[in-house]
Structure 1
Amino acid sequence: MATPIDLGRPVSGDVVELILNDHRLFETLLRDLRDASSDRDAVRRAFAQLHVAHALAEEEHVYPRLRRREAIGEHEAEHGEEEHAEGNEALLAVLELEATEGEEFDDAVEELATTINHHLTEEELTILNPAREEVSERERNELGQTFATARNQLIEDGCGSLEHVRQLVADARERGVLESS
C-alpha cells in the first residue's frame, strides 16, 4: 500500500535517534489526521505503514538486543509490545472507517492519539533513556542499521494494510496481549 507521504528511508544511525525521529513523525501524522483540510485517507495509510513497520522492527530487533545487554528488563520489553498491540487496535478502528470526517472518525483519531502519545512517552523514558546510558555508541549504530533495514523493508512490503493490521490485532488477542472484544 503505497502512500504519497514521505516516511523517510534512513539506512543508518544511532537506533535511539532513529526511533525518536519516527516518534516525531508519528506526532506530525497525528496532527495531520486531526486537520480536516488534510488528505486524511493518505495520512491514515501512511500512519499505518509507519506504525506497523516501526513496532515490528522494534519488537524483532531492538527490544531483544536491549534485553540481552540488560539495558531494559523483560517487563519493559513486554509492556512495549503490549502498547504496540494497543496502538494497532486503535489504528484498526481508524482504518476500518469509510468516512474520514465526522464525529466517529474524530473519536477514533482521538483514541489513536491518546494511545500512541502514551506509548511514545513511556518508551522514551523507560527504554530509550536506558539504551543511551547502557549501550555503547558503536552498538547503537549497529542496531540502528538493523532497525532501519527492517523498518524500510516492512514499509516496502505494505505492512500497514488493513488486512495485516486486522491480523496483528487478532494475533494479539489470541496470545492474550489484548482483551478479546
Structure 2
Amino acid sequence: MSTPIELGRPVSGDVVDLILEDHRRFEQLLRQLRDSSSDRDAVRRAFATLHVAHAEAEEKLVYPVLRRKDAIDEHEAEHGQEEHAEGNEALLAVLELKGTDTQSFDDAVEELAGLVNHHLTEEELTILNPAREEISEEARAELGEQFATERNRQIDADCGRIENVREIVARAEKQGLLDDEEGEEG
C-alpha cells in the first residue's frame, strides 16, 4: 500500500546527502503530525514507512560500511541502532492510537518528535560528519546507490505497516536495544 504523501524515490547520490534529505522529510512530517488540521492518519503512515525504510537501510548497509572503513566505531553504530529502536517503539505508540485528535496522540507525537530530533542531530554530528571526512566521494556514491535501493525496496514492501513495526520493536527488545527504565515488565 502506498501512501499519498511523497517520500522521494532516489536511485543514486552521495549517501550523506540522501540521508540528510530523509532527515529533512522527517522534520516536515513531524511538523505535519503536530498540525491538527493535517490528515494526521496519512502523515503517521507516511512517517512510519519512511522511518522504517530509512533505519533498516542504514543498519543493513551504511553503518557496517562506515565501521569497516573506520569512519565510525562500534559504539557509534550500536548507539545509532539503539536510537532507531527507541524511535520505532515511540512510533508504534503513535500507530496504535485509534484517534489522532486526542491528548494521548499529541503526547505520543511529542515523545516521537523528541527522540527522532535527538537522533537526527546526533547522527549528523557523529556519523555523517566522519563519513564526509573519512569516506571517498566515489565510495559515498556507491553506498548511496545501495542505500537508495534498499530504502525503496523497504517502501515497496510496505515496511511501515503496524504489524511490521510491532515485529521490529519485538526484535529490538530481544536484542536488548530497548533496555531502559521506561520499558514495561516482560
Task: Give the shorter-chain TM-score range.
Answer: over 0.9
Distance 1:2 1:71 in 2: 35
Counterpart position of 1:164: 164
Structure 1: runs of 5+ lacking an equivalent: none
Distance 1:70 1:174 in 2: 28
Distance 1:3 1:103 in 2: 25
Q: CA deviation at 1:169?
A: 0.5
SS at match of 1:178: coil
Residue by residue over 1:99-122, the C-alpha shift from the partner in whole angstroms, topping out at 9 and shown as x without a partner, is 001100000000000000000000
Q: CA deviation at 1:71?
A: 0.3
Q: CA deviation at 1:2?
A: 1.6
Counterpart position of 2:65: 65
Give the TM-score of the pair, scaled to structure 1. Answer: 0.99
Counterpart position of 1:79: 79
Q: Which amino acid aligns with 2:128?
A: L
Q: How does 1:37-116 map to 2 (within 5 A)?
A: 37-116=37-116
The alignment-based identity, stated in percent, is 72
Count of equivalent residues: 181
Q: Which amino acid aligns with 2:58?
A: E
Residue by residue over 1:6-46, the C-alpha shift from the partner in whole angstroms, topping out at 9 and shown as x without a partner, is 00000000000000000000000000000000000000000
Distance 2:34 2:121 in 1: 20
Counterpart position of 2:11: 11
Counterpart position of 1:175: 175
Q: CA deviation at 1:83?
A: 0.2
Counterpart position of 1:2: 2
Q: Which amino acid aligns with 1:34?
A: R
Greater than 3 Å deviation, 4+ residue runs: none
Q: How does 1:113-128 map to 2 (within 5 A)?
A: 113-128=113-128
RMSD: 0.6
Give the TM-score of the pair, scaled to structure 2. Answer: 0.96
Q: Which amino acid aligns with 1:19?
A: I
Residue by residue over 1:76-100, the C-alpha shift from the partner in whole angstroms, topping out at 9 and shown as x without a partner, is 0000000000000000000000000
Distance 2:170 2:57 in 1: 19
Distance 1:160 1:80 in 2: 19
Q: Which amino acid aligns with 1:9?
A: R
